[in-house]
Each structure stands twice: as C-alpha cells, then as structure tokens.
C-alpha cells in the first residue's frame, strides 16, 4: 500500500474525552454554554451523537428554556434522536463524565483544535485529489488550495467581546500616552511631512490608508518617501522601526536606487548612467551607511496573493516581536495583487482584496498603506483632479479604507513647471479632509515639505 493510501485510510483525529467534557460541563453548568459557543459550532464535534446532543442544548438555549437532563432528554425524544445518541443511559454518562462545568471552555478549545486538524486533513486530501485529476491549470489549483486552507484558518478565529468600561479605560490610556508625547499633534506614526501629519495626526494602527493616482503621477515615489522618512528618523532616534514593502511592480534594486538618490540628493539620471563625480560618490556612500542601518524589508515577488502577503507579514511580525514588532506595511499596488479566485468578477476580486488588507491591518495592529490606480475620468475634468469615485474596479476600496489620499501633479496638465504635488485627503474616517502641497524634486525622486517661493530648501528629512 502506498504512503498516500495509508494516510487516506487512517482514522481522522478526534478527542472523545474533550467532547464529553464539553457536553457534561454544559449539563453541570448551563451558564457555560455562551462561552463554549464562542469557540465551537456543532460541526466541530467528531461523533455524530455528540453533534446531535450539542445542537439540542443550543436549541434549548435559543428557545429560552432551561438546560437540564430531563429537558435535554425530552428535546432529543421529540427530535427522534434519542436512540441515535445512546438513550437516557448515555446522557447520564455525560453528566457523570465531569464533576463541574468549570473546564468546559478549556475542553471546547481542545475540540476546536482537533476539528481544525481534521479540516486541514480534509482540505489536503481534496487538494491531492484535484492535483492528481489535473482537470485545472496549475495556477487555478494553487488558488483553490489557498482558498481551502484559508477556510480552515477561519475556523480558528474566536470572537472577542469587551465591556464598555474596559474600552473606555483603554481610550484614556491611549489619550494619556498621546499627552505625554513631545508633539501633541501626532498620535500615529509620523509621515515626515508636517502639513500632512497636522491633518492626519500620523499613520494609525489598524488603519488602511489608500494612496491613489493615475499612472506616472508618483505613487511609488511618494510611498517610498514616506517610508524613508520613517526609517531614517528611526535611525537618528536610536533604532529604525521595522517596515515591510511589497513591490509587485518594481524590482528591489530599482527601489534601492531610488532610496539612495532620495537620501543622498544625487540625480537619479546620473546614477543610471554612472556619470558620478567624487562628491556624488561620497554622498551616495554616506546615504548607504544610513540606509544600511534601516530595517526595511522589500519583497519584490510578482503575482502575490493576499494569503502570501499576510503570511510574510506575520512571519516578520513574529521575528521582531521582542524589539517592537512590525510597524508598517506598504503594498505597491493593490490592483496587482493576485485574486484568490480568478473566475470571480473583477469587481468582486478587488473587493475581497481590499477587505483582506483591512483585516490584516486590524490583525497585526499596524497601519497598512496600499497604492491604487484611478481610472481616466479625472483626465477629462477641467481641473484634472482625481476623486474617490475614480478608484478603479471597485467602490469597496473607498468603503474599506480609513484614509484615502489622491495624488495630483498640476504641472503634468497645465503646462507649468512640474515641481508640485497636491495630496488630496478625500476621505479620513477620524479626521478632516482637505489638501496639502509638497515640493517635487524629480531629479532625486524626492518629495519635500512645500516652500511657497520654491526656493528648494532641504525640506523633509
């Protein structure tokens, strides 16, 4: 017999004692049922008799009836399931299986864990079967496998409820920490641009920030500048925060060159051609010394799915949990993330991706910045400025985002000098909307705080 056949024929994992402990605990102390229900559902039980008994207990609670052996016996009898579960004798066994209901939640977690392992085995068997059948392409099989594994992972998610008094205390704790900061205007991660931080109070944990623009307006450059401001400021303060940049469009070497030019103020065209004098080389070396101390991780793997992005982010979070953890994720850009199911309509694909991005921000408790394309509608307007309605392929991006920044370079359309970037904060769930202006130093791929007379000082960091 082959190894695959042996694995298939093995009895799935189960925990009979834990299942009996859950049911007996509920019978001993019916008040434990709501707690147990936060962890498991009927299908998590392996044994059919236990599924029917647990469902009957839940039905009694739903009908606002008390829970005891007599009422459970009567409910199972009416459902014509009494003999299926072993009769009255087995119900008494469950009662006697545990002395108290105190451990019902612990037993429920064991049942949930075993059910997840069974689900993983079942999903793996289906993946194996589909792979051997070869009725789909390799890409479709991988996407289907990811979806099956994600469904198993969702089974392990447990709801969390908090009383208002606890949440209010947390709110005051956060307020105290803000008051203790030197810069009272910034309660999140500073972007490095004074006007932008004054309006947004920084990048906040659990929030999804969308930076949207037409192609070639400067989304990647703007995001890289924000990242550079954050990591370089961290170096000067003692330790660079951990930032992860997913580049689905540009290679990591191109991003590194941009960062070097931005930090050193050496012209990017000269770097590309290799026309550098000794002063330029020294500036680049000094910039490299600073950037080497920054903890920026770049993943330039193309065709990433949200499952892969989330897995990479979780691994980095785990790796650095002892020294502050991951502080920011940037994804360039949203529409290039591979959908889990290519057969879904494009609008639904993008909607699923934007929801996953928001879930990732909440799960890791950090800000997530996602770059996005806007459609051509803005080019037909007199002012050429993008709007929220211009976000390509899905209105759910606007819905899921906490902050939407639309980038506009007036010089591209109005024939004037192209050295200004307008950052239009079109949506901010917890703050005002409006516009701020930055100076665009094209030769360095650098954005700086705006100077009215365009004197090109050393704005920014």
Residues 180-207: pLDDT tens digits? Answer: 555 545 677 888 888 888 888 888 999 9
- Kindly state the helix (H) or strand (E) to which residue 17 belongs, with its residue range: helix 16-28
Same domain, 94 and 192: no
pTM score: 0.68
Instruction: Name the domain count of the chain.
Output: 2
165 is a domain residue: no
Q: Which of 129, 155, 181 is the last residue of a domain?
A: 155
**460 and 221 Cβ atoms separated by less than 8 Å:** no
74 is a domain residue: yes
Task: Give me the DSSP letters along 179-190.
Answer: HTSS-TT--SB-
Lowest mean pLDDT among 32-41, 60-69, 190-199, 388-397: 388-397
Same domain, 151 and 177: no
Question: What gap in Å lies between CA 41 and CA 333, rounded to an integer?
Answer: 38
- Considering only residues 395 and 196, tell me which one the structure prediction assigns the higher pLDDT: 196
The greatest distance separating any two alpha carbons of the chain, rounded to the nearest whole angstrom, comes to 92
Same domain, 191 and 308: yes
Kindly list the catalytic residues.
Answer: 249
Same domain, 134 and 180: no
Same domain, 123 and 201: no
454 is a domain residue: no
pLDDT at 222: 92
Task: Give me the DSSP letters along 257-298.
Answer: HHHHHHHHT--HHHHHHT---HHHHHHHHHHHHHHHTS-EEE
Q: Which of 94, 122, 155 is the last residue of a domain?
A: 155
Same domain, 272 and 416: yes
What would the pLDDT profile of 237-246 be if each residue is shown by its tens digit? 777 888 999 9
25 is a domain residue: yes
β-pair type (403-408, 242-247): unpaired
Q: Report the DSSP beta bridge partners of residue 299.
A: 246
Same domain, 33 and 144: yes
CB atoms within 10 A of CB 175: 11
Is residue 155 pLDDT above 80, yes or no?
Answer: no
Please name the residue that has the structure tokens 């994804």.
331
Same domain, 51 and 118: yes
Q: How many CA atoms lie within 13 A of 220 on its CB side?
A: 18
Same domain, 148 and 176: no
CATH code at position 343 = 3.40.50.300
* CA-based radius of gyration for the chain: 28
CATH code at position 90 = 1.10.860.10
Q: Which of 106, 124, 155 is the last residue of a domain?
A: 155
Q: Is the peptide bond before 333 cis (omega within 30 degrees of 0)?
A: yes
Same domain, 177 and 108: no
Same domain, 139 and 191: no
412 is a domain residue: yes
161 is a domain residue: no
Show the domain range for 73: 3-155
Question: What gap in Å lies between CA 420 and CA 448, rounded to an integer?
Answer: 10
pLDDT at 21: 93
Q: Averaged over 29-51, what is the pLDDT?
A: 89
pLDDT at 324: 81
What would the pLDDT profile of 344-361 be if each residue is shown by its tens digit? 788 888 888 888 899 889
458 is a domain residue: no
Is residue 52 pLDDT above 70, yes or no?
Answer: yes
Same domain, 19 and 147: yes
97 is a domain residue: yes
Percent of the chain with pLDDT over 90: 20
- Considering only residues 272 and 131, tell me which one the structure prediction assigns the higher pLDDT: 131
Of the ranges 134-138, 256-260, 441-445, the best mean pLDDT one: 256-260
């Amino acid at each position: 017999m082959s190894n695959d056949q042996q694995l298939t024929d093995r009895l799935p994992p189960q925990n009979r004692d834990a299942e009996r402990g859950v049911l007996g605990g509920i019978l001993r102390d019916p008040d434990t049922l709501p707690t147990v229900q936060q962890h498991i559902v009927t299908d998590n039980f392996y044994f059919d008799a236990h599924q029917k008994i647990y469902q009957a207990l839940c039905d009694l609670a739903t009908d606002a009836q008390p829970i005891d052996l007599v009422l459970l016996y009567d409910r199972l009898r009416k459902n014509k399931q009494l003999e299926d579960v072993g009769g009255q004798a087995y119900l008494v066994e469950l009662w006697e299986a545990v002395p108290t209901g105190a451990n019902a939640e612990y037993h429920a977690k064991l049942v949930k864990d075993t059910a997840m392992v069974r689900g993983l085995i079942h999903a793996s068997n289906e993946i194996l079967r589909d792979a051997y059948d070869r009725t789909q392409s390799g890409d479709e099989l991988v996407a289907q496998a990811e979806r099956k594994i994600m469904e198993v992972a969702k089974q392990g998610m447990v709801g969390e409820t908090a009383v208002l008094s606890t949440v209010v205390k947390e709110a005051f704790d956060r307020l105290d920490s803000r008051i203790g900061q030197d810069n009272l205007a910034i309660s999140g991660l500073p972007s490095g641009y004074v006007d932008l931080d004054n309006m947004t109070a920084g990048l906040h944990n659990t929030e999804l920030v969308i930076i949207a623009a037409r192609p070639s307006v400067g989304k990647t450059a703007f995001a890289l500048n924000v990242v550079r401001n954050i990591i370089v400021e961290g170096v000067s303060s003692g330790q660079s925060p951990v930032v992860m940049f997913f580049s689905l469009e540009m290679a990591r070497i191109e991003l590194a060159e941009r960062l070097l030019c931005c930090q050193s103020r050496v012209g990017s065209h000269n770097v590309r051609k290799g026309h550098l004098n000794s002063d330029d080389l020294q500036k680049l070396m000094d910039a490299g010394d600073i950037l080497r101390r920054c903890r920026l991780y770049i993943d330039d793997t193309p065709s990433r799915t949200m499952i892969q992005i989330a897995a990479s982010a979780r691994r980095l979070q785990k790796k650095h949990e002892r020294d502050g953890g991951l502080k920011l994720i940037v994804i360039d850009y949203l529409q290039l993330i591979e959908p889990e199911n290519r057969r879904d309509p494009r609008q639904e694909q993008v909607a699923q991706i934007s929801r996953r991005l928001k879930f990732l921000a909440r799960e890791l408790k950090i800000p997530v910045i996602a770059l996005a394309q806007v459609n051509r509608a803005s080019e037909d307007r007199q002012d050429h400025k993008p709007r929220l309605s211009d976000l390509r392929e899905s209105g759910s991006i606007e819905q899921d985002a906490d902050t939407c920044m639309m980038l506009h370079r007036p010089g591209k359309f109005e024939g004037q000098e192209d050295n200004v970037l307008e950052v239009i904060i079109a949506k901010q769930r917890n703050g005002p909307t409006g516009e701020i202006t930055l100076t665009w130093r094209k030769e360095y791929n650098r954005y700086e705080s705006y100077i009215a007379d365009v004197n090109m000082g050393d704005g920014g960091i």
